[in-house]
Structure 1
């Protein structure tokens, strides 16, 4: 994979699914993405993000499965694709303090999400 790759997603296409391992993060160049989760058998939109937003990075920070699915919300969503290798190289160049903060934040988000679902 080159340093920067772009991918197009038609409206409704999944970018990734809940529970998958995460090898890529994304930045929205054009369009919008819905972050969705199946709750009681129904797809629920947890949030919508637009141009300039990054998503999918948590799985690259903590090497855990995706917590939700991401689905294209516009007719032509264009994403900048960031591979695990590129993400890791960039993260390794950052201040160790920032690296630690990112790991703590990822743990807290996952912990809060698990508590909301009623898991320990």
Structure 2
């Protein structure tokens, strides 16, 4: 059986704009996901702010660390499209897909390595910019206005303690 056939057998969930699939740091439920429709954004808390790292588009896997080592979620995932359709891959399904479709493991490993490099570079760039901003602020004091106007941070509402993650 090929990858397409394996994906067609996944349990599906639909979630709406603004909903949090899971939050950074919460224990995982041992599931990863495949995005069929919609767009999700990945946020990481850096120096007390939720910073967008990247978007997840249809055809992408994510959340694989929950399958591999059951670690807490490394980032928060928020739906930014009107809705999103996701396939759930639990450990049992992961094992079946791995055996039935060796291409699945290759694609997953390739994507994980790409994301690792990409995320590391983005985090380094964010920290470098913060260091530069700190140095500039020491030289040229500001009036106290927010420097975050480029949309790279989001309001904390989706990440409040009252928000219930969908995927947990």
- TM-score, normalised with respect to structure 1: 0.70
Please give the alpha-carbon distance, in whole angstroms, between the structure 1 residues aligned to 2:48 and 2:22: 18
Look up the match of 1:91.
98
Where does the alignment leave 5 or more consecutive residues of structure 1 unmatched?
A: none
Please give the alpha-carbon distance, in whole angstroms, between the structure 2 residues aligned to 1:42 and 1:80: 29
The reply on whether 1:51 has 2:58 as its aligned counterpart is yes
Please give the alpha-carbon distance, in whole angstroms, between the structure 2 residues aligned to 1:93 and 1:49: 25
Look up the match of 1:68.
75
Q: Hey, which of these two has a bigger chunk of helix by percent? A: 2
Name the SS for the 1:19 alignment partner.
coil
Q: Deviations over 1:57-106 (max 9, x none)?
A: 122112222111111111111111112221133335677xx69xx5xx68
Q: Hey, which of these two has a bigger chunk of strand by percent? A: 1
Runs of at least 4 residues off by over 6 Å = none
Name the SS for the 1:46 alignment partner.
strand
**Match among 7, 12, 15 for residue 21 of structure 2:** 15
Where does the alignment leave 5 or more consecutive residues of structure 2 unmatched?
A: 1-8, 125-168
Q: 1:10 to 1:39 in 2, by over 3 A?
A: same
Name the SS for the 2:96 alignment partner.
helix
Q: In the comparison of the two structures, how many residue pairs are matched?
A: 104
